[in-house]
Each structure stands twice: as C-alpha cells, then as structure tokens.
Amino acid sequence: MKRISLTQYLIEEQRQHNNIPESLRLLTEVVGRACKTISHAVGKGALGEVLGSAESENVQGEVQKKLDIISNEILLEANEWGGHLAAMASEEMEEIHPIPNRYPMGEYLLLFDPLDGSSNIDVNVSIGTIFSVLKAPAGMKNPTEADFLQPGSKQVLAGYAVYGPQTLLVLTTGNGVQAFTLDREMGAWVMTQKNMQIPADTKEYAINASNARHWFPPVKRYVDELQQGSTGPRDKDFNMRWIASMVADVHRILTRGGIFMYPADARDPDKPGKLRLMYEANPMAFLVEQAGGAATDGKQRILDIQPQKLHQRVAVFLGSKNEVERVTGYHLQ
Ligand code: AHG
Ligand code: MN
Ligand code: MN
Ligand code: MN
C-alpha cells in the first residue's frame, strides 16, 4: 500500500481543490504535532506522573485533571509562534488567548477541547483532543471573544485525535473525512481511511442512560422505542455503547454508524445539555455531516446555531442520518 502522509494529503488537496492554503496547512500540521506530543504524554501514564487531578477548576466548574492542563499548554505553545493564528480559545481557559505581540498575527482562530474524556484518563480508556478552526473576521485588529462567535457552518477545518489502542487523527476541511494513523516508530501521520461514511441506518445507540429519569418526553419516547427492540414499533433489536469520551463514541460512529445523544434534560433550565458548542458539538457536527450523517440539537442543525457565548453548552444528537432525523422529528412534533 502506498503511504500518503498528512503533509502529502494536505498539499494534494490544495492542488486539486484550492481549499487548504499554506497557512492552514501549517496550522493543521502544528495541531497534528501537538497531538503527537499529547499522545506521548498520555502513553506515559503513571510513569510520566500525568495521571490524577490538579487542584484547580475550569470555567465549566469541572475539576481539572493534570492532563487537561498539560494538553492545553502543549496546544498553546505549539500554536503561538507560527504566524498562522490570531487567537485561540479552549475548554480549559475562561478567556480567549490572543497571540502575543512578539509573534506575527495570522488569519485563523483555533478552538479546542485539549483533552476530551477526562474521566477516562486514570482508567486507561480512549481519550482525545477535539479542534475547530474559524477565519478571523476581515479587518479584525485585536481579537475578542465576539470574533469567535460564528456558527459552525463557518468552520474551515475540524478534527480530533483519539489516544486509544492506536493514535488517530481524523480531519475535514469540507471535502470529506480522512483518518490518519500515527506511525509511532516514524513519528508520522499516515492516511489509513479516505472518505469515511456513516451509514444512514444503524442498530447502535449511545446515551448516558443514568440520566433517564431527567429526560424530556421526546428523548424518553425515542430511547424507549429502541429498547423495545424487535417487539416494539422499530421492529429490530438495538445495541448500546457509551464510552464517556465523545471522541471515542464519535469515532465508532464514523467507523460503523450509530447515533450519539447528549440531550438537555429537566435538571437545570439554564444548562442546555452538557457538551460545549464551540469545542465539541461544532467540530463533531462538521465531521459527521461531511461523512454523510446528521447533527442537531434536537430541533435545528447544530452548524446553524448562532453562538451567544464562548463556553455555551448545547444538546447533541448526531450520527446515522435516519436516526437523527427521527429523534429530531419527535422534538418537533
Ligand atoms: P471533557 O472530558 O472534555 O470535559 O468531556 C467529557 C464529555 C464527553 O467526552 C463525554 O461524551 C461526556 O462528557 C460524558 O459525560 P457523562 O460523564 O455524563 O457520561
Ligand atoms: Mn472537561
Ligand atoms: Mn470534551
Ligand atoms: Mn476536555
């Protein structure tokens, strides 16, 4: 099999489709490099003294794990000096991080969830990094939070790395979804899947069922029908998977289909779901749509949502198109 590196893929994409200008290629390669560094730290585990919690909380009120902070630092440091970015924003930082004056300012904005699946770090289950790239508004001088508040449909690039049995980088620039596997000996990203496609139908769903008593009626109805299996209105048996790392759940769906749900529920009217629009929902929605799937908040397409604030949360239903359409339909009835 001919090996296509990440660099070769990005250069050929630009030649054929003119969609990855040089500075976006640099950005992608720098993020890819940072993910290799994070993968290395993750892989050291207890030997690298990277497990366990730090003594801080992030703006979402979550106790930060050491690896949340380490991964955030790695991404910041890797992306500061290249001249490709104007500013960054992260799940782990309350405020945006403009590029320091000593470096030239670029035209892109980078958003990330540096370490997704924090609760799985210490138990050696797959975790990842999620990222999203926007263009800075034309004429922007000093980046502010408002410059980031663009709907997901404006993303020029999105992707994630999974640190699992293999380390993978999965990307879209709006022309399909490609996956690269880290060749650990060579330290290189090698393309291993081209044009990933999510089947429209599935027999697999993912939801944290411990919240069932708080669900709103459309979610209750939908999941209840799945659970009735071949004796119910769906006429087939469904299987369930919940990894509690969004990257790993979404990667399974990109690989073999399925529906992933993290709904809003009755607990807190001010908290529409758990997942973050800008760092989790938007990049994953972009990837899933590029693979032929769908992503909604139960009512509308995630990529159409106009963000009101950086750390905004959102309900998420994504994956196999026919299932996402069905549960969205139940919300709209
Ligand atoms: P993070 O570790 O970045 O804070 O995200 C965790 C998210 C997501 O990865 C996962 O799907 C979800 O939280 C799991 O939530 P529950 O623990 O409620 O199942
Ligand atoms: Mn977190
Ligand atoms: Mn996350
Ligand atoms: Mn995180």
- What ipTM was predicted for this assembly? 0.99
Tokens of 153: 């449909």
Q: How far is the CA of 62 from the centre of ligand 3 (A)?
A: 11
Q: Measure Cα distances from 177 to 56, 101, 159, 170, 310 in Å.
A: 36, 35, 9, 7, 26
71 lines ligand 1 (CB under 6 A): no
Residues listed for the chain: 333
Probe residue for ligand 1, chosen from 205, 267, 280, 284 as the CB with the greatest number of ligand atoms within 8 Å? 280
Interacting residues of 72 by C-beta distance below 8 A, sequence separation 6+: 90, 92, 93, 112, 114, 115
Probe residue for ligand 1, chosen from 63, 65, 245, 260 as the CB with the greatest number of ligand atoms within 8 Å? 245
Residue given tokens 């979550």 in the structure block: 62
Residue 80's SS3 state is: helix
Q: Is 117 annotated as a binding residue?
A: yes
The atom number, within ligand 1, closest to the CA of 249 reads 11
Indicate whether this model's pTM tops 0.90: yes
Sort strands 259-262 and 204-206 into parallel, antiparallel or unpaired: parallel
Report d(CA 305, CA 213) in Å as an integer: 28
Cβ neighbours of 22 (radius 10 Å): 11
Enumerate domains of the chain plus CATH numbers: 6-193 (3.30.540.10), 204-332 (3.40.190.80)
Backbone conformation region of residue 187, classed left if phi is above 0, alpha if psi is from -120 to 50, else beta:
left
Report d(CA 158, CA 173) in Å as an integer: 7
Question: Could you give the residue ranges of the DSSP H alpha helices within 232-314?
Answer: 246-256, 282-290
The tens-digit pLDDT sequence of the chain (333 residues) is 789 999 999 999 999 999 999 999 999 999 999 999 999 999 999 999 999 999 899 998 999 999 999 999 999 999 999 999 999 999 999 999 999 999 999 999 999 999 999 999 999 999 999 999 999 999 998 999 999 999 999 999 999 999 999 999 999 999 999 999 999 999 999 999 999 999 999 999 999 999 999 999 999 999 999 999 999 999 999 999 999 999 999 999 999 999 999 999 999 877 889 999 999 999 999 999 999 999 999 999 999 999 999 999 999 999 999 999 999 999 999
